[in-house]
Chain A
């Protein structure tokens, strides 16, 4: 039983222009001690997946219409979709936590860093005030904040973007959650700080054995940290499997096209021109028929316009690759 398993999760949003399906039948598992990356462009539904599992969908517009999000809590399975707000509140912090791209979405600008960290520890861990403060200092030190004692009394706005991100990560890790959702945690940061934060997440995974679902648009980040990866397009997972297999032998034309459209910093950069993907990601309100990628796909055939490809599994040495494509590029 995996630590976390999405089963055919489907999420709809009611908008002024009609109901849109942001997430369409997404199945995905995260094992303990594993980093799974969910990759996609804006509007692909990748962030909605995590919000739905955390019970944080914008209300009343967003709704899980079918599917389940199972969390294995020491052998007891909880469906996060069905769990009520009280059950979720109990799980958040202690069992699952989330890191956002913008730390100010989860930091309170009016409270000092120490007050916010201590609150989490007193609430969930039942620590007394002094103990909570000592543990807060330790947490800040662990996430690489210099002079942590003096930072406890500062307000978030006094910190740099990288420092705030670390504070948010310290809060998320405070109760040693088993499952961490990280939504573009390094996108707003400089590359040297990004490298630090990614190391930090990997270390936490190694130390605690937590599972991490890392949502990103950056294939370089995937290559650096992911054990497995799922590529989303227009609300569906189009390719998923072991990270090395998917990145080195992409089978879905979209995965392949993304890899050829991204420049590289290493010597391979001199080898080939970037191949642009024509067009733009579709609006979830006006999805193309058949395979949603077909209008941009160089390999599209008649059937791609007509029928949606069902998921197929291809076994590889490192594990199965799941694929939704009628055509499939030759790896």
Chain B
């Protein structure tokens, strides 16, 4: 085996205080029905999620659509409001802030979106887009005054001064994402939440952007919350990985432990489902096809939310919800099993839902 994953930044020698601490965060949305929008229920999108991210480190957040990973990212940045729990960024309780103090705290935490085309205003030039955070936060008195800083930022993300006057539609997908990154870095944040930052890009471009994000982390000591459905990508960039299922973290571990010794049956299934671009490796891998689909958060199963799809489920799994517990060094899993268990031989492929 080699040194830690090629992309990952070495451990800092001194443990630094966490940039981001999330403690028992819960995010809910009202479910409304009818023309009057009467509230008929509550959808729990994120439930009892806790973790911390230190400077220069990346926490990868994986899970399938609807698992709450994007909502979690948005709640941390206060792009949506949590119901309870604590989010602290650089020691400041972000959920308690309002007005000017919230605005100041926002400088420390920035977001990179999946689709830079949707997050950039089509009528504004690259200079406008990247200068905006600087002028809004009073770091530059005007667009013109921001020019030197914007030029430096563009250079840093691999663009040139000649891009300053361009509009988003005149740029390639990769270039647009570079603009998005420059904009996120303009305020020198400590924490960057990257939500599927490369999944809209062509595969020959993805590595460019991923490597750029890794370099920037190395140079600037950024803390990343990296949200993605692509496990291979998460493995490549993360120091730690948290796996979400139906709003809850079901497993959280240092990256190598998670991929080498997954504990939770759902993590097993995710890893086995992701194809590897090597026919020999594919042939040697266990065929494990998880039946059914993730349940609806509107109607979550009792007990462990994964139990209807789990081959090891026992009576207790339908009754009691397993809490996260330590199963190894820095490795936690929410599962009633005593030890990780291999999946049984695959059921006849692609068959009945749970």
> Which A positions have Cβ atoms within 8 angstroms of B?
41-42, 143-146, 160-163, 190-200, 202-203, 217-224, 226, 243-244, 247-248, 257-259, 261-278, 280-281, 296
Contact = CB atoms under 8 A, between A and B. Distances in A.
B234 to A, nearest CB: 9
A202 B285 CA distance: 17
B270 interface: yes
B281 A277 contact: no
A262 B172 CA distance: 20
B235 A265 contact: yes
Contact of B279 (A248, A264, A273, A278): A248
Interface of B: 1-7, 64-65, 172-175, 202-208, 210-211, 229-233, 235-236, 256, 259-260, 269-282, 285, 288-294, 349-354
Sort A-B residue pairs by CB-CB distance and give the 8 closest, nearest first.
A220-B275, A199-B349, A219-B277, A146-B353, A273-B6, A190-B64, A276-B207, A261-B207
A274 B212 CA distance: 11
Contacts of B280: 244, 248
A191 B172 contact: no
Nearest to B349: A199
B232 A223 contact: no
Given A199-B350, A276-B211, A277-B208, A262 B202 contact: no
Select the residue from A193, A200, A275 with max chain B CB neighbours within 10 A: A193
A261 B282 contact: no
Contact of A243 (B6, B230, B279, B352): B279
Nearest to A195: B273
B65 A190 contact: yes
8 contacts: A41-B202, A144-B351, A258-B204, A263-B210, A264-B276, A266-B285, A274-B211, A275-B207
A239 to B, nearest CB: 14
Select the residue from A41, A198, A274 with max chain B CB neighbours within 10 A: A274
Contacts of B285: 266
A145 B353 contact: yes
B281 to A, nearest CB: 6
B350 A200 contact: yes
Nearest to A279: B204
| Interface SS of A by simple majority | helix
A194 B231 CA distance: 14
A259 B277 contact: yes
Contacts of B172: 280
A162 B290 CA distance: 13
Contacts of B349: 196, 199-200, 202-203
A249 to B, nearest CB: 11
B231 A262 contact: no
Nearest to B6: A273
B229 A191 contact: yes
A274 B6 contact: yes
A310 B323 CA distance: 62
Nearest to B1: A270
B279 A261 contact: no
Nearest to B65: A190
B204 A265 contact: no
A184 B95 CA distance: 42
Given A190-B229, A270-B256, 9 more contacts: A195-B272, A247-B279, A262-B206, A263-B235, A267-B260, A270-B4, A276-B211, A277-B207, A280-B204
Contact of B259 (A218, A265, A271, A277): A265
Contacts of B2: 270-271
Given A192-B290, A276-B208, A223 B203 contact: no
B277 A257 contact: no
Contact of A262 (B173, B208, B232): B232
A150 to B, nearest CB: 12
A189 to B, nearest CB: 9
B294 to A, nearest CB: 8
A217 B203 contact: yes
B352 A146 contact: yes
Contact of A270 (B5, B211, B271): B5
Nearest to A218: B275
Given A223-B278, A266-B281, A277 B204 contact: yes
Nearest to B173: A280
A42 to B, nearest CB: 6
A233 to B, nearest CB: 9
A317 B7 CA distance: 36
A141 B266 CA distance: 24
Contact of A221 (B208, B230, B259, B275): B275
Select the residue from A195, A196, A265, A281 with max chain B CB neighbours within 10 A: A265
A146 B352 CA distance: 5
Contacts of B353: 144-146
Contact of A268 (B281, B290, B291, B293): B281
A270 B3 CA distance: 7
B350 A265 contact: no
Nearest to A254: B204
Contacts of B64: 190-193
A100 B141 CA distance: 51
Contacts of A248: 278-280
A194 B275 CA distance: 10
B153 to A, nearest CB: 20
Nearest to B296: A160
Contacts of A197: 350
Contacts of A278: 208
A151 to B, nearest CB: 11
Given A190-B229, A202-B349, A146 B282 contact: no
Nearest to A160: B293
Contacts of A262: 203, 206-207, 232, 277
Given A144-B353, A257-B204, A162 B293 contact: yes
Contacts of A259: 277
Given A200-B350, A268-B281, A223 B5 contact: no
A137 to B, nearest CB: 14
Contacts of A274: 6-7, 207, 210-211, 236
B1 to A, nearest CB: 6
Select the residue from A144, A222, A244 with max chain B CB neighbours within 10 A: A144
A276 B174 CA distance: 12
